[in-house]
Structure 1
Amino acid sequence: MLRSFKPYAIEILAASVPARVIKTLPRETGLLIMAGRLLATPEDVAQTQKNGVLAVSTSLRKLWNDSKTGNEKK
């Protein structure tokens, strides 16, 4: 199904999908990978990004920050 559309990215729900799966998706699809859900701590976000995710989505305001400065976005 992905091959019949031209999305810019794929969002994985839940972000805790194993790293081996996350690393396969860009190779198989050529798309950017985002992830959301089940992120509760800054360490969860860091691990998700370490696994190859470009961006995360969350409703937890405590995790909303600028990764370059660490400042919370308003």
Structure 2
Amino acid sequence: MTDTPVADMSFEQAMAELEQVVTQLERGEVPLDESIRLYQRGSDLRKRCEDKLKEAEEKVAAITLDAKGEPSGVTPVEGL
């Protein structure tokens, strides 16, 4: 696990650390206080991954292609 602030992590960094957190919690070999800290960090990492995926989906959804495969404009993204 790193000391990098979750807000500064890329999707890949957050996902890798989240996998480490889940592995540690599943083993159940950490004290209760550490488990709580890991759970909170995991929750923050999960949120970061969800936010980064949503950003990527919105960028992709905003680009539409015409019959020739050329970008034809910007389509509003639902919910924005």
Q: TM-score, normalised by structure 1?
A: 0.27
More strand by share: 1
Query: Larger Rg: 1 or 2?
Result: 2
More helix by share: 2
